[in-house]
Amino acid sequence: MDSIVVKGGGALNGVIPIAGAKNACLTLMPATLLSEEPLTLTNAPRLSDIRTMTQLLQSLGAEVAGLQDGQVLAMSSHAITNHTADYDIVRKMRASILVLGPMLARDGHAIVSLPGGCAIGARPVDLHLKAFEAMGAELDLRDGYVHAKAPGGRLKGAVVEFPFVSVGATENALMAATLAKGTTVLKNAAREPEIVDLAQCLRKMGAQIEGEGTSTITVQGVDRLHGATHPVVTDRIELGTYMLVPAICGGEVELLGGRMELVGAFAEKLDQAGVSVSETARGLKVSRKNGEVKAVNVTTEPFPGFPTDLQAQMMALLCTADGVSVLEEKIFENRFMHAPELIRMGAKIDVHGGTATVTGVKKLKGAPVMATDLRASVSLILAGLAAEGETVVSRVYHLDRGYERVEEKLSACGAQIERITGN
């Protein structure tokens, strides 16, 4: 099993290109199941999760080819030859549930295993299923699989009001609604940039959608969708992660492709902490204002609030901030598993339920640590960049699910980082 070795100390300076968004790409890929015609995605990230989704789509009969070093995904679903998304693939990644809506909408039936992914809480799929039921689907959960049928072979438009904001449920229902008969209104819908990106892609395929980016999305179902070519939006979580590099280490980094509207709430917190974020012709430039990072309080919220997927990385920064910070996690339970690993490096963190209190220390110290999930893994690398001595991060297979070429991007800015390949 691979590990990453980081030797901390010293400011980092340079340019880091930001990839296409993992979460957007994993949502866009199942959209190929909605049409017999080809769907091509450009600016696709080269990640293990993308390969897993490729395997899943291929198992259902789709053709998927990675072109130009994997950054272009050419997909085609002339026919869905298998309507069962098997546990052996689905268990690897929660986004696998997103094939349910497109298959149900196009062919009127689907069988999908309940999904897996990072161990950061239950994250049930109830809201997905309730949306499909509102659209007329008949559902049966047995033996770990969702068996779904649309009476008469087609879903019907409906008003779907989510009891709380769910990105995945909004995406699944949005795709299903494009081919439903009549009008579907999604209320209390997620507003994330990935939702907007999906809607824009679906519109290119012929879908009739209004209101993406707001809490109410209206979809007028059509009889069929056609092919399209669509660029994957910039990954705002990778962007935010690398914005923390000069914040935690010192120096100045320019992030190519970065856009302020993708990370507004996060950039505001960095500003409060004493970190400067400015727009350039090519992206965003980040550096400390006066050499010292100040404590700030953070509460995770649905977009446009502070992203839960940047909470672990922000905690790494606040471990050496001046003062006491309080981080409140309101999206996922059990998402402070990185705290004990940071404590091994000398951090002072007190966790009570969904709240973590971080008292800044002068310096972290390198130590052997273990990644528990995707975002936790990169938070430990960030901490290692600022720590004295050597930090060894094990179980970095989590990292490869969401970040491409981490060592290469950080090394280009002067970081001492390398991957040790295990058995």
Residue 118 is among the residues annotated as catalytic for this protein: yes
Write the CA distances from 151 to 176, 180, 195, 415, integer angstroms: 14, 12, 28, 58
Q: How far apart are CA 214 and CA 218, in angstroms?
A: 10
Q: How far apart are CA 233 and CA 288, in angstroms?
A: 27
Binding residues: 22-23, 94, 123-127, 309, 331
Q: Is the dihedral of CA 233, 97, 109, 212 positive or negative?
A: negative
Determine how β-strand 72-76 pairs with β-strand 109-113. unpaired
Q: C-alpha angle 338/339/341, rounded to 5°?
A: 70
Q: Which of 25, 118, 249, 319 is catalytic?
A: 118
Binding residues for phosphoenolpyruvate: 22-23
Contact 358, 348 (CB under 8 A): yes
Binding residues for UDP-N-acetyl-alpha-D-glucosamine: 94, 123-127, 309, 331
389: left (phi over 0), alpha (psi -120 to 50) or beta: left
**Catalytic sites, residue numbers:** 118
